[in-house]
Amino acid sequence: MAKRELTSDKGPRIESQRNVPVLNDRGYIDFAPNDPDNPQNWSTPRRWLVTWVTILLVFNATFASSAISGAFESVVEEFHVSLTAAGLTVTLFLLGYCAGPLFFAPLSEFYGRRWIFYMTFTGYILFNFLCAFAPNYGSLLVGRPLTGTLVSAPLSNAPGVLADLWNPIERGTAMAAFAGSIWAGSALGPVVGGFLQLKKDWQWVFYVLLMFGGASGLTMMLLPETHAPTILRARARRFREAKIPGYEQVKAPADDEDRSLSKVFSIALTRPWIILFDPISFFCALYLSVVYTLLYMLFEIYPIVFRIKRGWKPGISELPLLGTIVGGGIGSGLVVLDTKKRARKIKRGESSMSDFVPEDRLGLAKIGGIGFAVSMFWFAWTGQYDSIHWIVPTLAGVSLSFSLLLVFVSFLNYIVDSYLLYAASAIAANTIARSACGAAAPLFTMQMFNALGVGVGGSVIGGVAALLAIIPFLFSKYGKQIRERSKFAPTKPQATTQQSGPAGRVDHEELAVMTAYKAYASSLQSLEGRRESNENGHIRPPRTPLPLST
């Protein structure tokens, strides 16, 4: 088994022969150019199959979070609890979203994506049996946070899968589909739950979740491992077992990382809280917490507008929520178009990734912020009066959902591009903040709108939205200065104190806080620093350290 050593401007390289591992400039096993084991080299149909299976698991998570809200009346009737107490079934589920990502995201960095999906989604299905056959209300309240925590793994780790599969230019469409599934699942849940309420049996909600989850679990078996470091570790182990002369001790980059779970979780449970109060992180979390809270408030507001005020029956009164799915779909489409427009400019040479700054992400957030405020007032005062045709507040809901999705996606992108090396921690902080606020929505929405009315109550939210709409404009003007003063948001990636490990991976400390949304790290470094092969077939290392592994 011969190996031939080549030289280039980056130093010695090893050209692979048959059955000989390819090594990078640090001596670690790596992917060869056009390597079929590299998930980004898989065929487009295969990558889309994996993408849609992953998104289906995400849809399960968001659908399960809100479906029970359509059957609150049945829960109240059977267990003799108040409507507010029934809302705890949503609140506790969403609190699971706060806990899950802190554990499952770093675990996926150690053991890969696939087995985390297998174990957590199977656990989610099993604990749904506890909910479906709960003998009392206490059992139901125990089952909901457990299912929420377990099913948060697909929700939190799916963007990591998309990062594994797609390069930064291609990823825009996949990320738009991911965001759309969050909106669609959350909005469809109350519609289905409302029709199941006609049976006067809340258990049917969980029967549907079990059937849907079981079918989705079968498709989950199609998921291969997509986490590149895990694939390389397995490859290195195979070569060591094969005892190829000269490669008996070959290693993957992940083999030399600190794999102490105590270290991982100690950082995962502390650093997000520190970064949360950094100015950019704090105001983004504030804005997205309002967005997420309103999303779950809508599941209480729509029945008031269409069932109580207009006298529609359960199920029918939730149908206007389908308009929010339409709005989210339009918003996702606009995100895709914006991504493709930027990609075309780069391909034509009209601009380069070096010209890109995080504040360029905020254009859609400006549109969404203004639309959020306007749409909320529109919905509030057309929903207040039953003399106004139902299509008018429904269209307002379409506009509202469209605006919320633009804000949601734009700010998540902005956070990652601003914090680079610490983006995972910043997104973890944001996830916890908005999930906690969304969890509170079922506990006060009904009382608030019964006391204030739809018009005034909606106007309060619209007023808050109008105040928050200034944030993307302020960040566009002063964002660079704020980042220059931040300890965690350096203006230059190479200025950070932590350095990337082999093959562009960050060191073991940041692995502790690699959360779901690292797929948004399609910043300038990941496009221009990705491993590529030159015309001679040599492996070329990244030009600059990558802020996040992709």
The answer to pTM > 0.85 is: no
Q: Write down the number of H helices and E strands in the chain.
A: 19, 6
Query: How many C-beta neighbours within 10 Å does residue 444 have?
Result: 14
Which pLDDT score is estimated for 76? 92
Strands 532-533 and 539-540, sheet pairing = antiparallel
Closest CA to 457 of 377, 399, 348, 537: 377
Confidence band for 488, pLDDT divided at 50, 70 and 90: confident
Contacts of 217-224 spanning 24+ positions with Cβ under 8 A: 217/121, 217/122, 217/125, 219/53, 219/56, 220/53, 220/57, 220/117, 220/118, 220/121, 222/49, 222/50, 222/53, 223/50, 223/53, 223/54, 223/113, 223/114, 223/117, 224/39, 224/50, 224/114
The mean pLDDT of the chain is 80
Question: Read out DSSP for 151-185?
Answer: HHHHHHHHHHHHHHHS-TTTHHHHHHHHHHHHHHH
User: Does the pLDDT of residue 4 top 70, yes or no?
Assistant: no
Closest CA to 288 of 383, 426, 187: 426
Closest CA to 414 of 277, 285, 240: 285
Mean of the pLDDT values across residues 127-135? 94
State both tokens at 80: 């003799």
Question: Read out DSSP for 65-133?
Answer: HHGGGGGHHHHHHHHT--HHHHTHHHHHHHHHHHHHHHHHHHHHHHH-HHHHHHHHHHHHHHHHHHHHT
Confidence band for 390, pLDDT divided at 50, 70 and 90: very high
Query: How many C-beta neighbours within 10 Å does residue 282 have?
Result: 15
Strands 539-540 and 11-15, sheet pairing = unpaired
Confidence band for 326, pLDDT divided at 50, 70 and 90: very high
Distance CA 407, CA 296 (A): 16
Q: DSSP state, 23? A: E
Mean of the pLDDT values across residues 161-166? 84
Distance CA 129, CA 405 (A): 33
Mean of the pLDDT values across residues 26-42? 85
User: Does the pLDDT of residue 498 top 60, yes or no?
Assistant: no
State both tokens at 112: 């890969």
Which pLDDT score is estimated for 420? 63
Residues whose CB is less than 8 angstroms from the CB of residue 34 and which lie 6 or more positions away in sequence, other chains included: 41, 533
Mean of the pLDDT values across residues 439-458? 92
User: Does the pLDDT of residue 243 top 90, yes or no?
Assistant: no
Distance CA 312, CA 114 (A): 44
Chain centroid to Cα 25, Å, comes to 33
Closest CA to 75 of 317, 314, 319, 321: 314
* Nearest-10 Cα torsion for 143, 147, 150, 153: -160
Chain centroid to Cα 31, Å, comes to 27
Helix, strand, coil percentages for the chain (3-state, nearest 5) = 75, 5, 25
Between 61 and 229, residue with greater pLDDT = 61
Closest CA to 187 of 89, 333, 298, 329: 298
Confidence band for 496, pLDDT divided at 50, 70 and 90: very low
Distance CA 15, CA 20 (A): 9
Domains parsed from the chain with CATH numbers: 39-225+265-485 (1.20.1250.20)
Distance CA 128, CA 126 (A): 5
113-132 and 137-165 helices cross at what angle (nearest 10)?
A: 160
Distance CA 426, CA 429 (A): 5
With contact defined as beta carbons under 8 Å apart, do 519 and 40 qualify?
A: no
With contact defined as beta carbons under 8 Å apart, do 429 and 276 qualify?
A: yes
Closest CA to 101 of 141, 56, 153: 153
Which pLDDT score is estimated for 424? 62
Distance CA 268, CA 103 (A): 8
Distance CA 531, CA 395 (A): 47
Distance CA 91, CA 86 (A): 9
User: Does the pLDDT of residue 88 top 70, yes or no?
Assistant: yes
Confidence band for 352, pLDDT divided at 50, 70 and 90: low
Chain centroid to Cα 482, Å, comes to 25
Residues whose CB is less than 8 angstroms from the CB of residue 340 and which lie 6 or more positions away in sequence, other chains included: 172
To 5 degrees, how large is the angle CA 539–CA 545–CA 550?
A: 75
Which pLDDT score is estimated for 6? 35
Confidence band for 529, pLDDT divided at 50, 70 and 90: very low
Which pLDDT score is estimated for 354? 66
